[in-house]
Amino acid sequence: LRSERQLTEWLRKKCGIPAGSEVVLGIGDDCAIYRPRGSRDDLLFTTDLFLEDVHFLRRTHTAADAGRVAISRGLSDIAAMGGEPRFVLVSLSVPTWADGKWVRSFFRALTARTGTCGAVLAGGDLSHSEKLACDVVVCGAVPKGKALLRSGAQPGDAIYVSGRLGGSALGLETEAGKAWKRHVTPEPRVAVGREIRTRLRATACIDISDGLSLDLERLCLASNLAAEITEPPIFPGATLGHALHGGEEYELLFTVPETVRVPSRVAGVSLTRIGQTTSGKAGQILFQGERMKPLGYDHFRLK
């Protein structure tokens, strides 16, 4: 295994969606899309693993931190498609070191987040193991045919990012202060996603989970475009490297037609133009005129 992309591509080819399937979008975007017979909505599905020593450390995360981070990944994927979260399923393998109090605190923090978004915990699975293993599924809804995809950008669209980048990566290094707080209490941009879909006529969107450089490459590859960007807004104290390549930001990266007037804030979050798409080689990113490699996070890169 050399990269996630290689395995994902193999799976995508192997698991072609047959014509007429109610699955209208399969592997390769932030969510799969399912269109039930007769339904007015398309349903968005995302599933995210949350594993001890991979996605969090027992030493640094409280139970509430863990619950919040576990649910944020999925909510952010729903936000990236402009959807409204409806329900979640949580599979949790309780580690030997956790007692009932820890588990209840984990679920309290997780369901507080879903409650804020109007979603309910509808089911799950329980198991036990040495280390904590968790998988969170989020289902969201969007009016039929209206989901924001990675693949809809057009040449010459303006590229925007929500919020400021690099805080989560900085927090992971320092384990202190506002940056650490940002790392363990991410704020999925559900309201922002809905607004950019309905009011800003966004053409494409992705959430920044593995770093701006890698996620912008993904958006460009899906849209068969290149991009030129400048410096994104940077979280106080973070470096340019943190902002360009740091993961777990859960900000939205999106494109709008050049003619759309984009407000500087939406749903309390700043929106900043960082560049535009071009008709160059698919996936090629120029940062301040220079080629930028996607250095974001890939689980298999070191293998």
- Cβ distance to a second copy smaller for residue 288 or 300: 300
Residues 261-300 that bind a second copy (CB under 8 A): 299-300
Q: Does 100 bind a second copy (CB under 8 A)?
A: yes
Least distance in Å: CB of 287 to a second copy? 27
Least distance in Å: CB of 269 to a second copy? 26
Smallest Cα–Cα separation from 39: which of 149, 145, 144, 194?
144
- Cβ distance to a second copy smaller for residue 84 or 195: 84
**112 phi and psi, to 5 degrees?**
-65, -40
> With CB under 8 A as the contact rule, which of the stretches 93-101, 154-162, 186-194, 240-248 interacts with a second copy?
93-101
Q: Does 260 bind a second copy (CB under 8 A)?
A: no
Query: Which residue in the block uniquely carries the two structure tokens 């922002």?
Result: 192
Distance CA 265, CA 286 (A): 26
Least distance in Å: CB of 13 to a second copy? 12
Smallest Cα–Cα separation from 44: which of 101, 87, 104?
87
Structure tokens belonging to residue 15: 């698991």
Distance CA 243, CA 261 (A): 25
- Cβ distance to a second copy smaller for residue 45 or 180: 45
Q: Does 151 bind a second copy (CB under 8 A)?
A: no
Binding string, 24-43, against a second copy, x = CB under 8 A?
-xxx---xx-x-xxxxxx-x
Query: Which residue in the block uniquely carries the two structure tokens 């590859």?
Result: 221
Distance CA 62, CA 175 (A): 13
Binding string, 59-88, against a second copy, x = CB under 8 A?
---------------------------xx-
Query: N- to C-terminal Cα distance for the chain?
Result: 7
Least distance in Å: CB of 249 to a second copy? 18
Do 42 and 143 touch, CB atoms closer than 8 A? yes
Q: Does 45 bind a second copy (CB under 8 A)?
A: yes
Distance CA 106, CA 21 (A): 37
Q: Does 23 bind a second copy (CB under 8 A)?
A: yes
Least distance in Å: CB of 248 to a second copy? 13
Structure tokens belonging to residue 280: 């160059």
Distance of CA 5 to the CA centre of its chain: 16
**Among positions 66, 70, 71, 133, the unique one binding a second copy when judged by CB under 8 A:** 133
Least distance in Å: CB of 52 to a second copy? 9
Q: What is the dihedral of CA 171, 177, 183, 187, to 10 degrees?
A: -140
Strands 23-25 and 32-34, sheet pairing: antiparallel
Distance CA 208, CA 250 (A): 5
The residue ranges that bind a second copy (CB under 8 A) are 1, 4, 7-8, 10-11, 14-15, 17-18, 21-23, 25-27, 31-32, 34, 36-41, 43, 45-49, 51, 53-55, 86-87, 89-91, 93-94, 99-100, 103-104, 107-108, 111, 120-130, 133, 135, 137, 139, 141, 299-300, 303
